[in-house]
Structure 1
Amino acid sequence: MRVPLSWLREYVDLPADVSGRDVADRLIRAGLEVETVEEAGADVTGPLVLGRVLEFSEETHKNGKTIRWCAVDVGPEHNADRSGEGAASPSRGIVCGARNFEAGDLVVVCLPGAVLPGGFAITARKTYGHVSDGMICSERELGLGDDHAGIMVLDPDAGSPGDDAGPILYLRDDVLDIAVTPDRGYCLSVRGVAREAATAYGVEFRDPGELSNIAGTMDTSGLADGPGDYPVRVEDPERCPVFVTRTVTGFDPTAPSPRWLRRRVQLAGMRPISLAVDITNYVMLELGQPIHGYDRDQLAGTIVVRRADDGEKLTTLDGVVRTLDEDDLLITDDSGPIGLAGVMGGGTTELGANTSSVVIEAANFEPTGVARTARRHKLPSEASRRFERGVDPQLPVVAATRVAQLLVELGGATVEPGVTLVGSAPAPAPVDIAADLPARVVGVEYAPGEVNRLLTAVGADVVAAGSDRLRVTPPSWRPDLTDPFDLVEEVARLHGYDAVPSVLPVAPPGRGITFRQRLHRRIERAVASAGFVEAPSYPFVGEAEFDALGFPADDARRRATRLANRISDEQPLLRTTLLPGLLASLRRNVGRGAVDVAIYEAGLVFLPKPGEAEPPPRLPVERRPSEDELAALEAALPDQPRRLAVALCGDRERAGWWGPGRSSSWADAIEAARVVAGAAGVTLRVEQAEAAPWHPGRCAALYDGTTLVGHAGELHPRVVQALGLPARTSAMEIELDGLSATDDPVPAPAVSTFPVATQDVALVVDVAVPAADVESALREGAGELLESVRQFDVYSGAQVGEGRKSLAYALRFRAPDRTLTVEETTAARDAAVAVAAERTGATLRG
């Protein structure tokens, strides 16, 4: 919300010497988020005055350009003696390319020495054969609008030549740009911000939302069915509790918006359009009540507020034909839909260049319904932005009257007698609160009567409800005040957050991070040291991601927790795997020019419990939840194990003067899993597997003992194509909470000073036998003298027979206390081969 300081001063008696930044500081201390203070017009410096065009001559030059050589009276202080140029009186000679003015018109002149927006300095310079001693300005040149079709022509009585043009143009003002949080919808108006400023400064506030404060208040008698009312019927009072109309006739559609009105609307961030539209926007900005005007001559019959029929059509003001949902609330007449309630009006009854009779609508709509409609149609608007946060239901009569008043004053209209009022504003529910609750919660001893004073300043009605209790009725514009602790927050906010003491809790001795926290940190350091870069992502996914990953219809990972307040309709679920976000990060990096990418993410996944979960209970805030309440909450939450995933593509080892590079492969994804296991102090067992989204022939299942903890390998080509990833992209995902790591000290490795003895063996096995099984058998059979086993070759061909393969291993033996003999090494090797033969059917290759 952008609020000009001059507008704020109309309702608050701010000290004369305070600036916009001073007001912003006070509002920030009161809890509002003032993002910036813009000094509008500050980029226009130097002499900017009114001038009257005395005479001009038109000249066409060789380039085809027609200019006017003007004599402009800019006041005695600034005029020059131009008698030598044949001028009738002292004036300034100015060259102007515009032709939308006549002799005698009052214009805005920048004199030499002035600087316009963009650092454009004005000097006397020779052009088109004349010395142009200044510049006649357009709106865009002064930063007052986008109109550059011609120069600004002011009302004849706007001032005299030589007067400072700044105040007449409302050029300079401080504008507060406030980020309004969802609970402070009332601050989407000058009225709401002015109330906060009055409280912050402790000065009087004149409420423009009270009918008595509208100058020249018009008749509001005859509410409902008064003479001249436009007929209205509301069929859904829950979604539309209040609907008000007032009608004006005889409006002059050619009447221009006065400069003060256009400037305020512009400074508030909206584009001036026409007088009728500008007035409705002005009142919305002033009061926070969205207004819609209908061309009465285009209305057909009674205005009806009803739900849409599924598939019904409406052309909104932006020219888009929208297919409606049965949840949408409509404004209709006998011709059909004429507006999307609380969001945007329809094009058939739009105020146009010939509108002379206006039906003014000011209604109150239920917030969540407006929010659903705006999101469904991807149609955010100034109206929906306010209704979504809650609009004061007492405002419609005041706002409609204010619009009618301005249409009369500025557009020559006549107000039809009576007001149509359908429904009534719901009364705010009173809240009982202990008088000392704010002091107990905030930790500040408030002076007697201070709590009452601050809550009254909010706009609440405060009465005693006993010796130590208060009954507080929130104001109609604060639908967020429903709980005693909401009132506590208001007391703390208005008294000043800086008055709340900062007391650090005493940390209990002897505690630090847990074993699991230390383990997770150790694992992530190991993965990062292996060359992977962390790439965290949001935990939100959609069915499209599951489809792209090739998950079968019955895959457990498709059963995901659905968010009630999702950010995007395309991603309404909580992730059950880390891969969608991680692979999206990899694709994004590749799309931005990265070729060799290796990234990881560690985080929680959300796995719904079997069966239908009970909805989570709403925990109390006035006391600690009971054990049963906490248990019910825990039971309603999905399981949240921590996982780590990696994704990589391109080269794992780059080429250079040291030799050729090496592309990343499924083996690197499996090695990343071994890095994780090594950091956790466990040994993984790797087996061939088939699981989406991996390639069925290049996928490994990862086991810690007998527990499946993850998968790794190369992604399926269809997945790679669906996600737009480079060919041969590999990935790994492992569940950290499934690893059998313990907090026991890791034993240091034994170091022997005696030499190593190496024995190579080549074993022939069936092609279906996993190499990991052969290696495991060799380790077990070799005994305690074995130091390491390393596979260095695999061969399949005619020499070993069809359906067979040869696996070659290097066995390293070492004793801690002696040099091994050949006989000892050979015996250990033969024992290893014997166990491998027994378990896998391996035979020594001849």
Structure 2
Amino acid sequence: MKFSENWLRQHVSTDATRDQLAATLTAIGLEVEEVTPLGEALDGVVVARIVSAEKHPEADRLQVCQVDAGAVGMLQIVCGAPNARPGLVAPLATIGTKVGGLTINATKLRGVASNGMLCSAKELGIDADASGLLELPADAPVGAPLAGCLGLPDATFELKLTPNRADCFSVRGIAHDVAAACGATVAVLEAAPVAAAGDAALEVRLDAGAAAPRYLGRVIQDVDATRATPAWMAERLRRSGIRPVSLLVDVTQYVMLELGQPMHAYDRDLLKGPVGVRRARAGESLELLDGRQAALDDDFLVITDADRPVGLAGLMGGLDTRVTGTTRSVFLEAAHFAPAAIIGRGRRLGLHTDAGHRFERGVDPELPRTAIEYATRLILDLAGGTPGPVVESALADALPRPATILLRRARLARVLGVDVPEAEVERILRALGLGVEAAADGWTVTAPTRRFDLAIEEDLIEEVARIHGYDAVPTTLPGGATRLVAPAEGEVPEHHLRRALAGRGYLEAINYAFVDAALLERWQADDKVVPLANPLSAELGVMRPRLLPGLVDALARNAARQQGRVRLFELGKVFAAAGDGRAPLETPRIAAVASGDAFAEQWGMPARRVDFHDLKGDLEALAQLSGARLDYRPAAPSWAHPGRGAEVLRDGEVIGAIAELHPRLQQALDLDHPVIAFEVDLAPLRRRELPRARPMSKFPSVRRDLAFIVAESVAWADLEATAVAAAGPALRSLRLFDVYAGKGVETGFKSVAMGLILQDDSRTLTDRDVDAAVASVTAAMAATHGAGIRS
């Protein structure tokens, strides 16, 4: 929210300096992001009128102007502004004046004398517009100081408001908070009803139920839409970040900024009537004021004229019925729309408007009549006209009702930890516009209709705290003993996993939990996704079903910035639709990605690219923290390179996958080098058995090494499972120590050498025991895998 300091002070009178006002606003929760002083040093800048403008004899882009500066006299000014013309009233910096650090002196430009400088708004430091001279109203007093004509000096305040403070998207809303904090009062708003002077009216209808429970309209005939917006109004709009357009449009914008009620003005002669509000129909479209064509469905509300859409309710009017300089009769609308009916609609169309910003957060349902009366008075004063009656249609049962809340003294003191005097509590609540009545144990408080954020007792406690002052709450250390909770031994702490990966050269990434649906399509991961009802942007529209899309995207951004060796990991939740209206399923996972060289640049060993086995080793290191045994089964997830991926299993349960990215996906993501990645469920990886002590065997172990010739397609995991099952309970461990294919081994086969470690706890194994275990393993290998002993 951006506004003029002078405008705010018109509504609330306070002796606070500008710096004190900014500090007070921030202290009460309305964070001041920026304060920009305007017109602090305009001494010597006066209002002047260009009497004549002739082309410079030596420069095509310069004009020699004769300028009337009032008491200063007639001056010759050389000017290069494109809008310099006879009759134009503009600011003139006289000789000796400092403008933007430059002192204006009498000089010659291409041989022609110039005795001052005609100025743009940017040169004076009051606006960013540098396209030409600042055009002042034709009736501005020539020779008068510019500061007085434009209400300077002033400053623009820009607030960073939280979504719950919709009431502060207006100057008067902010004034209520300032008055409460500074012990002042808010000036009475002059918005008395304007009596109808004619019977011109349009019928209004409501056909959208609770989504649009109130709509008011008024016809004003015989207006002069060609009149210029007065300087005081135009400047307040500019200082609030809005460019003046035309008088009728500017009045609606001005009322919105001052009161907080968005309004719209239609050309009455382009309407047939009746005017109504209804749900849009599938296939309908509307050309908006900005020229874009909006495709609508029944999720949108539209303003209709004889059932044809003429405006997008709560967002923007239509192009066909807009007011122009030829408008002679205007139809003013002011309505209340439920936030749920407006929220997210503009985002779907790539549209952001001041009206939508306010309606999404909630506008006072009692404000439309005040706004339409206030706007009527402004139009009559500035453009003339004959007002008709205000026509209203309302659904009383659907309008929000003020909340009545009990604020207990004991609860207030308990939550704040400090006793606020009862008189101060009542003063604060009444200054904020709340109705206060004494109750046995506190106060019964009625929130004003503009305060959508006040619903429970804690909301009122917060109001008392922020206005009383957070700095007035004493700092007190908590008392009592702190209960220490020992971590569960059955789970590996998450920070141990983070530390392990960091120790292996990885950096932790933290990505948004929502991603672009188009990115998931590339990963073929767009099934069972959870769409967001109100996304931050179209690119962040669904909850992530996997960690890897966001993590690889982060890797790609690093690679694009000349980072040749990238290691990233992330711990976070993924989401999947549960169906049947149930809440989405949330699963904690851990993922890691690696690309580039296997080792940082060094001289001790030859350089090579990271591969599948490097990342598998990192995953095994995580598993070792819990003592987990991971198994791998060849598989190719949708995102994996065929033949270079595997499912990860623990205790026979698939917990994730590890693979190299598919070349097609890698190309789509604009990655130059292969990327290896894994993603596994976190809970199975963290689960560990409690340590149990057992005596060591007093008897020696025996080792037998066996080498089998087996087909290349047979995986070690299958050979291992067969050997363990066949060896029996005497097997303590099985070790793979050699794999060979080449000379001496038939093509299509490989030699696999394993060591069997055998031991018994009760006796020394005999040769017969060992030979029996070896024979059993050999027979099982032959029967299951067609493997024979290598000769």
Q: TM-score range by the shorter chain?
A: 0.7 to 0.9
Shift of 1:194: 0.8
- Kindly provide the CA deviation profile for residues 613-634 of structure 1, in whole angstroms up to 9, marking residues without a partner as x: 75xxxxxxxxxxxxxxxxxxxx
Give the CA deviation at 1:374: 2.0
The size of the alignment, in residue pairs, is 770
**Cα distance in 2 between the residues matched to 1:828 and 1:129:** 117
In the alignment, which of 270, 275, 280 is matched to residue 242 of structure 2?
270
Partner-residue secondary structure (3-state), 1:301: coil
Question: 1:121 and 1:801, CA in 2 relative to 1: closer, same or farther beyond 3 A?
Answer: farther
In structure 2, the residue matched to 1:194 is 175
- Aligned partner letter, 2:13: D
1:178 corresponds to which letter in structure 2? L
Counterpart of 2:78, as a letter, is: V
Answer yes or no: is the 8 Å Cα contact 1:431–1:484 preserved in 2: no
**Which position in structure 2 is the counterpart of 1:2?**
2
Matched residue SS, 1:440: helix
1:59-458 aligned within 5 A:
60-68=56-64, 70=66, 73=69, 75=71, 93-98=76-81, 107-112=90-95, 114-117=97-100, 122-145=104-127, 151-152=133-134, 154=136, 158-159=140-141, 161=143, 163-208=144-189, 213-214=190-191, 217-220=192-195, 227-334=199-306, 336-411=308-383, 413-423=384-394, 426=399, 428-436=401-409, 437-458=411-432
**1:763 correspondence with 2:734:** no
Equivalent residue letter for 1:548: R
Structure 1 residues 329, 730: CA separation in 2 closer, same or farther (over 3 Å shift)?
A: same
Native 8 Å contact 1:428 1:475 kept in 2: no
Deviation at 1:6, TM superposition (A): 0.4
Counterpart among 522, 545, 553 of residue 548 in structure 1: 522
Letter in 1 for 2:682: L
Contact 1:256 1:274 in 2 (8 A): yes
Distance 1:105 1:188, change over 3 A: closer
CA RMSD of aligned residues (A): 3.9
* 57 and 419 in structure 1: CA distance in 2 versus 1, 3 angstrom threshold: closer
Aligned to 1:840: 781
Report the 3-state secondary structure (helix = DSSP H, G, I; strand = E; otherwise coil) of the residue aligned with 1:309: coil
Q: Match for residue 459 of structure 1?
A: 433
CA 1:234–1:735 in 2, change beyond 3 Å: closer, same or farther? closer
Q: What is the DSSP-based 3-state SS (H/G/I as helix, E as strand, rest coil) of the residue aligned with 1:355?
A: coil
- Shift of the 561–460 alpha-carbon distance from structure 1 to 2, 3 Å rule, reads same
1:649 aligns with 2:590: no
- Report the Cα distance in structure 1 between the residues aligned to 2:473 and 2:94, rounded to whole angstroms: 54
- Do structure 1's residue 498 and structure 2's residue 454 form an aligned pair? no
Residue identity matched to 1:33: E
CA, structure 1 residues 190+511, in 2 after alignment: closer, same or farther (shift >3 Å)?
A: same
Counterparts of 1:57 and 1:696, CA distance in 2:
77
Q: TM-score of the superposition, structure 1-length normalised?
A: 0.81
Name the amino acid aligned to 1:531.
G
The offset of 1:188, in angstroms, is 0.5
Q: Distance in 1 between matches of 2:282 and 2:202?
A: 28
Give CA deviations for 1:405-430 in whole Å, capped at 9, x if unaligned: 1112122x223242212226636244
- Give, in whole Å, the separation in 2 of the partners of 1:378 and 1:452: 45
- Confirm or deny that 1:801 pairs with 2:746: yes
Following superposition, the deviation at residue 686 of structure 1 comes to 3.3
Task: Work out the CA distance in 1 between the residues paired with 2:195 and 2:132.
Answer: 43
| Residues 512/6 of structure 1: CA separation in 2 closer, same or farther (3 Å cut) | farther
Structure 2 CA distance for aligned equivalents of residues 100 and 603 of structure 1: 59
Q: CA deviation at 1:286?
A: 0.6
Corresponding residue to 1:481 among 454, 462, 473:
454
Deviation at 1:269, TM superposition (A): 0.8
SS at match of 2:419: coil
Residue type at the aligned position of 2:235: R
State the distance in 1 between where 2:692 and 2:44 align.
81
Secondary structure at 2:554 match in 1:
helix
State the Cα distance separating 1:777 from its structure 2 match: 7.7
Q: Which amino acid aligns with 1:840?
A: M
SS of 1:182's partner is coil
Query: Which deviates further from its counterpart, 124-133 or 266-275?
Result: 124-133
Q: Secondary structure at the match of 2:232?
A: helix
1:649–1:456 distance in 2 versus 1, CA, 3 Å: same
Paired residues of 1:762 and 1:845 also in contact (CA < 8 A): yes
Cα deviations by residue, 1:393-445 (Å, 9 ceiling, x for unpaired):
2221221121121112122x223242212226636244241532322333332
Q: CA-to-partner distance for each residue in 1:205-238, whole Å, 9 max, x for gaps?
A: 1243xxxx23xx453479xxx8322222222342
Q: Deviations over 1:120-170 (max 9, x none)?
A: 554444321134342122334334456666534645764453x53223233
* Whole-angstrom CA distance in 2 between matches of 1:835 and 1:112: 110
Letter in 2 for 1:8: L
| Secondary structure in 2 matching 1:404 | helix
Which range is displaced more, 784-793 or 585-594?
Answer: 784-793
**Equivalent-residue separation in structure 2 for 1:112 and 1:827 (angstroms):** 116
Aligned match of 2:762: none
Alpha carbons 1:646, 1:672 under 8 Å: kept: no
2:12 maps to 12
Query: Alignment partner for residue 598 of structure 1, among 534, 557, 567?
Result: 567
Deviations 1:382-402 (A, max 9, x none): 111111111112221221121
Alignment of 1:720 onto 2:666: yes
What residue in structure 2 maps to residue 32 of structure 1?
Answer: 30
CA distance in 2, matches of 1:481, 1:198: 19
> For the Cα contact (< 8 Å) 1:219–1:417, is it kept in 2?
no
Q: 1:612 to 1:502 in 2, by over 3 A?
A: farther
Q: Residue 695 of structure 1 is aligned with which of 610, 631, 641?
A: 641
Task: Quote the Cα distance in structure 2 between the aligned partners of 1:691 and 1:51.
Answer: 74
Structure 2: 5+ residue stretches without partners: 760-764
Residue number among 516, 523, 538 corresponding to 2:512 in the alignment: 538
Deviation of residue 193 (structure 1)? 0.5
1:575-606, CA deviations, whole angstroms, 9 ceiling, x for partnerless residues? 44322222222233333443332211122334
How far 1:531 moved relative to its partner? 1.9
Letter in 2 for 1:529: G
Deviates more, 1:439-448 or 1:769-778: 769-778
What is the CA–CA distance in structure 2 between the aligned matches of 1:92 and 1:831, rounded to whole Å?
Answer: 119
Deviation string for 1:230-256 (max 9, x for gaps)? 222222342222211222222222211
Determine what percentage of the aligned residue pairs are the same residue.
Answer: 34
CA deviation after TM superposition for structure 1 residue 29, in Å: 2.1
Matches within 5 A, 1:666-677: 666-677=612-623
Counterpart residue identity of residue 594, structure 1: Q
* TM-score normalised by structure 2 residue count: 0.86
**Counterpart of 2:493 in 1: which secondary structure?**
helix
Of stretches 1-10 and 365-374 in structure 1, the one that deviates more from structure 2 is 365-374
Q: Please tell me the residue identity of whatever aligns with 1:481.
A: L
